[in-house]
Structure 1
C-alpha cells in the first residue's frame, strides 16, 4: 500500500506512560511535517511528469520536460523526430521512476524510523518495568531477610532468658534442699540430745534415795 501525505499527517504514536522516557512530541511533529511536505512535493512532481508523458504520447508537446530535453535540437526528419521522442519518453520515464523510487525510499525510511522509535519506546518501557520488578523483588527479599534475622535474634534472646531463669530456679531449689537437709539433721541431733538429757534426768531421779520425814516433836524443839 502506497504511503500518502495524509498517512504521514494522520500518523499517531502512543505516548509513553507517566515517568517513562520517550521522544519529544514537538520534535516528532516537526519532523513529520517536513516528511509530509517533501512527500507531497515528490508526488506532485511525479504527477506532473506523468502528465507531460501522457500529453506527449497523445501527440502534444509538453511545456517543460528537463533541461536536457529543452536544450535538445529540433528534429529535421521524421526518423529523427521519432528517435528524439523515444529519447524524451525514456528520459521522462527514467525521471518519473527515479522520483517514484526516491519517494518510496523516503516513505520506507520514515516508516522504518517510526518503527524503530516505537520499538525503542517499547524496549525502554520493558527495561524500566523489569528494573522496577527487580527492585521490588530485591526490596522484598531484603525485608524478608531482615525479618528472619530479627525473629532469630528474638528467639535466641528468649532461649537465653529461659536458660537464665531455669538456672536461677535450679540454684534456688538446690539451696532450699540443702537448707531443708540441714534443718532435718539439726532436728535429729536436737532430738537425740534432748532424749539423752531426759534419760539422764530420769536416771538421776531413780538413783536418788527418798528423804525420810522428821518427827513432829523434834521439829517443835
Structure 2
C-alpha cells in the first residue's frame, strides 16, 4: 500500500491531552513536509529517467532497420526479375552466345542472392543490437533509480530515528524539570508549613 506526497501533506495528528507527553507539532509538520518534498523529488527523478529511455528513438531505429530490410528485399526481387528476364529463352544461332548469356545470368542471380542475404543479415543484426542496447540502457536506468530511491528512503529513516531520539531526550528533560519543580515547590511548602 503506497503513500503519496499529497497524503503526507494532508496528514493531521491529534494534539496530546493536556499534561501528557506528545510530539512538537511544528517539528512533525516540518518532518512531513521534508518527506513529501523528497517523495516529489524522487517521482520527478523517476519520470526524467523514464523519459531518458527515449522509446521513440528505439522505435525509430527499429523502423529504419525494417525499412533497410524491405529495400534489400525489393532490390533482390528487382534483380531476380531482371535475371528471369535475361534467362528467357534466347533464339540465337550461335550456341556460344547462349552459353555466355546463361553464365552471365547465373552470375547475376548468385550475386543478387548474396547481396540480398547480406543486407537481410545486416538489418537483422542491427535491429537485434538496437533492441539489446535499449534493454541494457533501460535496466541500468531502472537499477540506478531504485538505488537512489533506496538511499533516499534510508536517509529519511535515519532522520526519523534521530528526531525520535531527540524527542525522547526532550521528554526526559521535561520530566526531570517537572520533578525538580515539584521538589522545589514541596520544599517551599514545607518551609511555609514548618
Distance 2:102 2:60 in 1: 44
Select the residue among 170, 174, 177 that pairs with 1:154: 174
Query: Cα 1:51–1:135, aligned 2, differ >3 Å: closer, same or farther?
Result: same
CA distances 1:54-109 after superposition (whole Å, capped 9, x unpaired): 653xx4229xxxxxxxxxxxx94665555544433332222111101110112112
Larger radius of gyration: 1
Select the residue among 89, 104, 111 that pairs with 1:91: 111
- How many corresponding residue pairs? 144
Distance 1:49 1:123 in 2: 44
Distance 1:55 1:161 in 2: 109
SS of structure 2 residue aligned to 1:60: helix
Q: Say what the alpha-carbon RMSD is for the aligned residues.
A: 3.7
SS of structure 1 residue aligned to 2:146: helix
**Offset of 1:151 from its aligned partner?**
0.6
Distance 1:112 1:164 in 2: 77
Distance 1:158 1:80 in 2: 116
Q: Which has the higher helix share?
A: 2
Distance 1:113 1:87 in 2: 38
SS of structure 2 residue aligned to 1:22: helix
Q: Is the 2:68–2:123 Cα contact (8 Å) retained in structure 1? A: no
**Offset of 1:44 from its aligned partner?**
1.6
Select the residue among 60, 85, 91 that pairs with 1:60: 85
Name structure 2 gaps, 5 residues minimum: 1-41, 88-94
SS of structure 1 residue aligned to 2:86: coil
Select the residue among 147, 160, 163 that pairs with 1:143: 163
**TM-score, length-normalised on structure 2?**
0.55
Q: Is the 2:72–2:120 Cα contact (8 Å) retained in structure 1? A: no
Query: Cα 1:18–1:130, aligned 2, differ >3 Å: closer, same or farther?
Result: same
**TM-score, length-normalised on structure 1?**
0.50
1:39 paired residue number:
66
Query: Cα 1:60–1:78, aligned 2, differ >3 Å: closer, same or farther?
Result: same
Name structure 1 gaps, 5 residues minimum: 1-15, 63-74, 177-221
CA distances 1:182-209 after superposition (whole Å, capped 9, x unpaired): xxxxxxxxxxxxxxxxxxxxxxxxxxxx
Distance 1:132 1:42 in 2: 47
